[in-house]
Amino acid sequence: EVGAAVPWHQDPPYGDPARTTTFAVPSFTTDIYIDRSTLENGCVWAIPGHHLVGHVPLHGRDQDDLFAHPQAVPIEMEPGDVLFHAVSTPHGSPVNRSRDVRRTFYVHNLCEDVRQDAYLRGWAERFGGWDDARHERLAGMIRERAQLGLEQSTSELCPLTADGFVTAPSAGSEPRAWEARMRAIPESRRQQMRALASARSASAR
């Protein structure tokens, strides 16, 4: 074994067993791949469709069984590829058995609903939340990019405000779209999905 595995998990705040629902507004992680990510060097695997059922109990489960789950899929990526994945999606990475480095740059999107519910206490008390200093740090990065002659965003969909970057829904998008999709999943099916039952019934997308 060359590299360490990343055990199967959901990103915060979905590790909490009490979180039985998913937030209506998506929160996601943007993975920017610096190196190739392959089966040989331990690419991330995910179980699609399970992002709408809240907490999925993964802790203590056999890792090999999770990678062998009939709905688990490997996500191989090339340098420069970008992956967007919901933080509630169960995912993990096996051991890197190659000599290749697998570097990824992560950007975590945090919607206001999640921040208010899960981050104003606990994590924020330890590490601090949004404040004037963080705003100025980001504003300074934008100014430095301009001074270096680097490409500047011309989009008005994600301006930096006093409250952080604020995104507006694109034309035709449905506000709080996940709310309706969650309601469409029968409770019996939701329980199956939380238990990672292997039955291949219609999955949420």
pLDDT band, residue 201 (cuts 50/70/90): very low
Looking at residue 167, what is its pLDDT?
Answer: 74
pLDDT in tens, 164-174: 887 776 767 77
Q: Which amino acid is at 119?
A: Y
Residue 29 and residue 109 in contact, taking contact as beta carbons nearer than 8 Å: yes
pLDDT of residue 122: 61
pTM above 0.85, yes or no: no
pLDDT of residue 140: 93
pLDDT of residue 199: 44
Q: List, in order, residues 6 or more apart from 12 with CB less than 8 Å away.
A: 87, 118, 123
Enumerate domains of the chain plus CATH numbers.
1-110 (2.60.120.620)
Within 10 Å of residue 100's Cβ, how many Cβ atoms? 16
Helix (H) or strand (E) holding 133: helix 132-147
In the predicted model, is pLDDT for residue 147 greater than 80?
yes
- Please check the confidence at residue 149 and state whether its pLDDT lies above 80: yes
Over residues 84-122, the pLDDT tens digits come to 999 999 999 999 999 999 999 998 887 777 877 776 666
Give the pLDDT mean for 188-198. 89
Q: Which residues, other chains included, contact 125 with Cβ-Cβ below 8 Å and sequence gap of 6+?
A: none
pLDDT at site 202? 39
Residue 120 pLDDT: 66
Quick check: 27 pLDDT over 90? no
